[in-house]
Structures are given as C-alpha cells and as structure tokens.
Amino acid sequence: MDWFSRSKLTRRGFMKGAAAAVALPKMFFLSSPFRPSVAYAAGEADLVIAQQGTPTQLLQAAMAPLGGMGRFVKKGQRVVIKANIAWARTPEQAATNNPELLSALIKMCYQAGAKRVAVWDHTCDNYQFCFSRSGLKKVTQDAGGDIYSGHGRNVYKKVEIPKGKKLKEAEFIQDVLETDVYITFPLPKQHFATELTLGLKNAMGTTWDMELLHKIDLHQCIADINTVRKPDLVVVDAIRILTTNGPKGPGKTEDIGEVCATTDMVAVDAYCASYFKHPKTGKPFRPADIRFIKNAYDLGLGEMNLSKVRMKKVKAA
Amino acid sequence: MTEKLQWARRTVQAVSFFFLLYLIIQAAFPLEVRIPVDLYLRLDPFIAIVAFLTQGEIIIRMLPALGVLLLVVIFGNFFCGWFCPMGATFDFFDRVLFREKKRSKPFDDQPLRRFRYGVFIFAVAAGLLGLQVLYLLDPISLITRTLVIAFYPPAVYIYNHLLPEIQRLLPGNPFILPATKLPIFKVNLLIFLFFAGVLALGVIRRRFWCRYLCPLGTLFSLTSRLRVVRRSVSEACVQCLKCAKECSVGAIPAETPREYRQQDCISCFKCLDCPPEATAFGFHFPRWKGAEAVSLSRRYVVGSLAFGVFSALAIKTNPLQTESGLKNNRLIRPPGALPEKNFVSVCTGCGECLKVCPNNALQSTFLEAGLAGLYTPRLVPRIGYCEEHCNFCGRVCPTEAIRPLSVEEKQKVQMGVAKIDKTRCIAYEEGKVCLVCNEQCSYHAIVGDDKKRPIVKEEICTGCGICENKCPVDGESAIIVYTSGIQKKVKPQQETKA
C-alpha cells in the first residue's frame, strides 16, 4: 500500500493539474464568444426536391437553389448530422440512411469549411450492430467524420422545453444543442404508431428517453422536442423509402430517387407524406393526416400548407 | 540461475494472467479475434472430462484439453505453477496481501491433503448425478466468472466516472466519449466474497486452494505420477529443509527432504534454490513410488462418495430442483441452449456468455434454476434483450452448453413467447398510441389492431425480449416473455401485409 507515497504525484502537483484541467476548456470557450450570425443569405427556394441522379448529384442539385452548403456551414464551424441509424439493418432494406448520400453530405460540409462533422444517433438496436450493418460507420469515418451513439447518458443535457405543450423537459444530446450547425438527415418510412416517420420524428433520436415520449403523447411530444433546437438544414434521404413494416423493416421498399433539402422542417414533412398511401383511403397522405405535422405547424415550427411554400423541383442529372 | 528461473516463471504467470484478461476483454463486439476467447477453458481437462461424461459425447471444442492432460501425464504438472491464471493470482496475493502466518510447530497437513481427494470424489459423484459443484470449484471457470461478474462492472463504473476528467484533458472538439453501458449482475457480491475468501485462505498456507481444494490440481495429481521430468537430490544434501519450506504445494516432506511426492509437484522449481546445490531436475524413467502419499482409507473414499451422492439426491429432491420447483416460466435460456436438464449439467458457469452479450441480457442465476443451476446464464429481458444479429453466446461457450448457431439459425430459435398484460398496457388501458413493442420487434411478431393496440403473433415470436425491454410502463413491463422450458424453432415466416 506504500505505492502512493513512492509515486511522484504530490498533492500540490495534483491540485495544479486539476486546476488546469478545469480552467483550460473554459478558456477555449471564452476565446470564441461570438455565435455565428443567423441571418443567412436566402436562396431562391425554401424547399428543393432533386430528382434523377446519383446520391451525390442529387444532394448537390438539391443544395444549389438553397444557396449552397456555404449558406449554412461557415469556415471553422462544427457540424452535427442527426442521421437515422436506429436499426441494425442493411442499406438496401431502407431502414437506415443511404451511405453514399451521408458520405456526400459530410464531404460537402467539409468543402464548405466545416471544422469537424459529427454524425449522431441514439440507436434503438445495439449501436455497434446498427453502425456496422448499416455501413454508415465506415462511410462516416472514410469521409473524415466522427460517428457517435447516444447510448451513454453522459452525452445528454437536460433542458426545459418552454414551448412544449405536453413535454416540459427532456434530455437532449449536448452536442446537438451546442453545435454551430445542426443538420437533420431523416429518411421517410412507414410507421405503424404515427403512420409515418419523417424529419420531425428524426429528432426523437436526439433524446435520451424515447419510450417516455410514447407514454405521454407521441404526436405532441414529437412536435415539442422540435422546438428545442431547430435544425439549420433538413436533408431528406428519399432515394429509397420503406413503405411497409416500418420503421424497423424489413418490408417493402420503393425507389423514389429524390433528395429534399430545406430549412422548413414542417414543409418537407408535409411534402414527404405524399410518398405514402393512406392504408384506408389508398390515396397519398395529406399533411394534416399526420398528427405530429399538424402539431408542429400549430407550434409555429414551419409551414404545413405546401401552396405557401416556395418549392422547386430540379433534375440532378 | 535459479533466480532467473523464478523470474521467468513469474513473468510467464503474469503474461498468462494478463492474456486471460485480454481474452475476456476481447469477448465483446465484434468478436473477431483469431484465438477463441474461451481458450483457457478449452484447455481445462477437468472441465473437458466432466463435460464429456455428463453430455455423453465428445465436445470438439474441448479436445485441446486432452492434449494438456497428455502433456501433464508425460512431463508432470507444469500447468499450475506456470500457466494457471488462478495460480498466478494466488502467488501474487500470497505475497502482497494474504501472507502465510508464521508457525512455531510444523503444520501437519495430512488430513487436509486427504480432504482434497475427498472433495474430488464428492464433486465427481455429485457431478455425475447432475449437481455441478465441480464447476464452481474449477479454477479456470472460477477466475473467469469472478473477473466477468465481480470485476468487470466496477471497472466500467470507474471508467464512466473518470470520463468527465478524461474528457476535460482532451480538446473539447471533436472528441466525445460516450459512457459505456454499465453491466450489472445480481450475484456479483456473492462471487466476490467467495473469491476473496479463497484468496484469504492463503494466510493459513500458501496456495491453500491449490493444495487442498482445487479439483483440476487433484486431477493432475492423479495423472502425473508417472512423469518423466523429475526432481533428484544428490548425496550433497545437508538436510537444511529449505526446499521443504519453499515448496509452495508441500510436495517435499520435512522428514525426508530427499524424497518427494512427484504427483503433487507443480514444477515451480523453487527447490532448485538449494544451498549445497544438491537438487536437480531432469528426465528420469517413470516411477510409481514417491514419498509417502496421502493414505486414503476405504472408509474415507466410501464416505466421500456417499456424501456426494447424498448431496446430489438432497438437491434433486429439493423443491427448488424438482419439477414443480423448476416450473419457472420466466427462466429463459440463451438461444441454442441445450435442454434444461443437460444445460445445467454441462454449463460451467464461466460467465463468458455474460461478458460477450452486447446488451447485458444474459444474467447469472442464483437459485432461479435450482441449486444445480447456480451461476448458469438466463435471459432477463427487462435488463437487456437478445440482439437479432448476434450469436456471440454460442460462439464463446467452451462446453457448447449454448450450441454455436449461425445468426440465421439463431433467429429461428424460439426461447419464449411474449404475452401482453392488457390491464397494464397503456394502449389497452389508457388508449394511448404507444406501440413501442411493435416498432421494436425485429421479427414482425407484434402487430397492431385497428385501434393501434399491440397483438402478439405467438407462432413467430422468438422471445428475444426487446418488447419487454423497451416497454415504457414503469417497473414490470406490460409485455412479458414467458418460456415453456423447451426451445423450439419458429415456423417459417410469411410475408406480412401491412
């Protein structure tokens, strides 16, 4: 037990080290007190839908009318992408994001000058299986990004939701709350409980207790959590969507071949709802059929009425 | 020279222990190490022989153990003194923490040495009747189990609590270290106390366990009498008795130090540190006779045997173990486990599967499976569920008590069936849109009715327990996996219409 006395670690040395450990990160924060400006240069459209092309082409085509990635990502900024890697499924099964598109998105952020890009998701299946089976870990790391899973509670921060109607506080991934640029990267899927899972629902993967939201009131909670950190950019991966057995699959898939980019998360959900047919009527879903879209609209998160949105469809190739 | 040899031996022991530790740490996702992570258990001839006898067939994975036994038969017992990780632990703790008490009178250990054989006979007799005390005493299984159940969770706990400090030292951007999910095991304290108790026996005698209890050591004693590498003492011996004092297993009798019990020798070569340099080790013609061996009277053997048989019978007739007591419909065995009766007699309780399970779903039993099923793995869905694309537990089981299934085969094993408690399910009781179970189910075994309430399709439910795990109802889940005690194959799945 005399190891302690023989080691070089003195009390004074320890205190110095501890003080430095506390002070140093504080100093880093002080050095950059200026948050990036929120006044972006407006693009020529608010919702761009790119069709026909490879994933990379689609993304570039979708971003251009919005003003390019440079409108959102400034030099030296940290970017967080909330991807959909919730399930241990292969890319073809369309329960997780398209790897090529994620890779293109990360590279585009770096081209715009991002300091570091992090991909986050609080997975439902075991994160290791999700990351490896979906192939998204590899493409993220190859593209120079970091991939993180929200399985450890230490990465969360409890915040109040002042605008929330039913959910008053929740634990969110701290990186999502504090990052310079937050991009949500959903893919549309059929979902038995909420009819569809779209961009707004993607935000569930930034919270710690997802099951709790089901318990309170799923539709309202989805709208409530989206009031906390609004995404700066929404990129919807509708290259292949899951139309049955969602959200986990495997089920029937449909190749839509579209990528949507927007700043209005309600509008894009309203648009993407029409990919799917209502099981009872057989007609495409109307935005108001999905209660969480309606609830988000009521909270003023965006425009549900597509006729009021500046929409633009472009061909990628 | 002898100092160098002892130094080399300690190094080998340390390497052996840390290699075991390394293998245990590697028993985790993605499980891609070339060496089997249960290597040490596969090299344990005691487990091999008992598993062969109780299972009634040769287990391919355990065959290397017979190679070890063969080497021991020829060259003598080098395993305990050099390679046994438990032995290394004893040697370490006997030096640093539990030092042998000094005695004025010599310690007569004849009764204790006899006791070792008594324990062995008792354990074998009970083991063949289905009470697996032997596995609890096997040193390799014991150390693996202790490291996994008693030491792995605290290590993760400390790591998680040091994380903020580590994080602070790293630049804030881009490094983020998410905490590791804390593994939990119910029986950890019990296992720790047993381990600590065994170590503490060192105050009575160095390597007390190895000398007087260890069944693997006893097996080696029984088989290594005809070893060819043997100690010999020349005429130069001055009867200083240094060797008798130094011998860590008491193989050299103080009365006749020139003789020794070659079957008890663990080849640690401490006796080579001989002041007149009279001791040597070399190749000799096998010899049956050694220094006075332990005298096992017929009475003693029969007594031990009877005691073992009675213990096994007492446990078999105990309500915990009899059929009525075993009707525990929540005792879900890992996917691919042998039928319950065989499972408890072949499972060594080593804990490899508990370690490798990515969701901490496998838990060690205490008395849920009866006394014979102590420390066997069970699936506790509320703690963790069985991951769909994982077959790790079968891949690391040394005795194939959990059969090694391919992922596809595993996905078809029905461990149990989920049942919904409609009085507690918030979809039925409160009319809420929940359907977490439906969303999480990997096999489409939970569908929703038109009011968005879950219904289980029992024929395709595998009992993986993800629904029970994720159910948002507080406390006990509103959907619970029950088992019939027999694992079935699920019927081929039909394309479900949405």
Q: Give the tens place of pLDDT for each residue, B175-220.
A: 788 888 999 999 999 999 999 999 999 998 889 999 899 989 999 9
Q: Is the pLDDT of residue B323 over 70?
A: no
Instruction: Please tell me the predicted confidence (pLDDT) of residue A4.
Output: 46
Interchain CB distance below 8 Å, A126 and B358: yes
With beta carbons less than 8 A apart as the criterion, state whether B153 and B250 touch: no
pLDDT, position A10:
61
Asked whether residue A190 is assigned to any structural domain, the reply reads yes
Is the per-residue pLDDT at A27 higher than 50? Answer: no
Strand partners, A237: A259
User: Which chain A positions have a beta carbon within 8 Å of B471's beta carbon?
Assistant: 211
Q: Are A187 and A176 in contact (CB under 8 A)?
A: no
**Residue A5 pLDDT > 60, yes or no?**
no
- Residue A35's pLDDT band, with cuts at 50, 70 and 90, is very low
Is pLDDT of A118 > 60? Answer: yes
Note whether residue A13 is domain-resident.
no
Q: What percent of chain A has pLDDT over 90?
A: 77
Residues of B in contact with A24 (CB under 8 A): 168
Q: Could you give the percent of chain B with pLDDT greater than 70?
A: 96
Any domain includes A55 = no
Partners of residue B428 in chain A, C-beta under 8 Å: none
Q: Residue A37 has what pLDDT? A: 38
In-domain check, residue A49 = no
Average confidence (pLDDT) over B150-160: 95
A248 contacts B174? CB cut-off 8 A: no
Residue of B31, B176, B432 to mutate for A, most A C-beta atoms under 10 A:
B176
Q: Which residues of A touch B448 (CB under 8 A)?
A: 192-193
* Sequential DSSP letters for B153-169: HHHHHHHHHHHHHHHHH
Q: Report, as an integer, the average pLDDT of A98-107.
A: 96
With beta carbons less than 8 A apart as the criterion, state whether A173 and A121 touch.
no
Pair (B231, B330) in one structural domain = yes
CATH number for the domain that contains residue A205:
3.40.50
B289 and B438 in a common domain: no
Q: Is pLDDT larger for residue A33 or for residue B8?
A: B8
Distance CA(B160)–CA(B184), nearest Å, equals 14
Q: Which domain holds residue A304?
A: 72-312
B368 and B490 belong to one structural domain: no
Same domain, B350 and B459: no
Among A3-12, B231-240, B327-336, the least confident range: A3-12
Among B411, B432, B456, identify where a domain stops.
B411
- Interface contact flag, B179 A148, Cβ < 8 Å: no
Q: Which range has the worst mean pLDDT, A259-273, B213-227, B283-297?
A: B283-297
**CATH number for B455:** 3.30.70.20
The answer to whether residues B405 and B421 belong to one domain is: no
Question: B362, B391, B411: which is the final residue of a domain?
Answer: B411
How much is the pLDDT for A19? 60
Tell me what pLDDT residue B45 has.
92
Tokens of B373: 């099923």
What residues of B are in contact with residue A154 (Cβ under 8 Å)?
Answer: 160, 163-164, 178-179
Range with the poorest average pLDDT among A40-44, B128-132, B156-160, B460-464: A40-44
Percent of chain B with pLDDT over 90: 48
CB contact under 8 A, A214 and B435: yes
Residue A227 belongs to a domain? yes
> Which range of residues forms the domain containing residue B469?
414-498
pLDDT of residue B317: 82
Mean pLDDT of chain A: 87
Residue A297 lies in a domain: yes
pLDDT above 70 for A51: yes
Q: How far is A312 from chain B (nearest CA, A)?
A: 32
On whether residue A230 sits in a domain, the answer given is yes
Report B:444-473 residues touching A (Cβ under 8 A).
444, 448, 452, 470-473
- Contact yes or no for B432 and A215 at CB 8 A: yes
Number of domains in chain A: 1
For residue B165, the chain A residue with the least C-alpha distance is A21
Same domain, B394 and B421: no
Give the span between the Cα atoms of B375 and B348, in whole angstroms. Answer: 8
**What number is the average pLDDT over the span A133-137?**
95
Q: How confident is the model over A61-79, as a mean pLDDT?
A: 93
Which pLDDT band holds residue A33 (cuts at 50, 70, 90)?
Answer: very low
Distance from CA of A78 to the nearest CA of B (A): 8
Which positions in chain A touch B472 (Cβ < 8 Å)?
Answer: 211-212, 214-215
Residue A40: the pLDDT is 45
User: Among all residues of chain A, which has the CA nearest to that of B441?
Assistant: A248
Whole-number pLDDT of residue B55: 81
Q: How confident is the model at residue A34 (pLDDT cuts 50, 70, 90)?
A: very low
Nearest CB to B390 within list A129, A151, A190:
A129
How many A-B residue pairs are in contact by the CB < 8 A criterion?
Answer: 122
Task: Considering only residues A8 and A172, tell me which one the structure prediction assigns the higher pLDDT.
Answer: A172
pTM of the model: 0.88
Q: How many domains does chain B have?
A: 2
Give the per-residue pLDDT at A31: 40
Which of B389, B429, B443, B453 should one mutate to test binding to chain A, selecting the residue with the greatest count of A CBs within 10 A?
A: B389
Would you state the pLDDT for residue B244?
87
Residues of A in contact with B163 (CB under 8 A): 154
Per CB-CB distance under 8 Å, the chain A contacts of B31 are none
pLDDT digits (tens, 9 = 90+) for B414-444: 999 999 999 999 999 998 888 999 999 999 9
- For the segment A14-40, the average pLDDT, to the nearest whole number, is 49
Which pLDDT score, from 0 to 100, does residue A38 have? 40
Please tell me which residue of chain B has the smallest CA distance to A245.
B498
Collect all residues with Cβ–Cβ distance below 8 Å to A258 and sequence separation of at least 6. A49, A50, A51, A58, A236, A238, A239
Q: Please give the DSSP secondary-structure letter assigned to residue B420.
A: E
How confident is the model over A19-36, as a mean pLDDT?
47
The mean pLDDT of B51-64, rounded to a whole number, is 86
- Contact state of A193 with B444 under an 8 Å Cβ cutoff: no
Q: What is the mean pLDDT of chain B?
A: 88
β-partners of residue B379 are B332, B362
Neighbouring C-alpha atoms within 13 Å toward the C-beta of B319: 0
Mean of pLDDT values over A297-302:
93
pLDDT on residue A29? 45
- Helices marked H in A127-168: 127-133, 136-142
Least confident of B138-147, B313-322, B366-375: B313-322
A28 lies in a domain?
A: no
pLDDT (tens digit per residue) in B99-149: 888 877 777 778 888 888 888 888 888 877 777 777 888 999 999 999 999
Residue B197 sits in the same domain as residue B317? yes
In a shared domain, residues B439 and B397: no
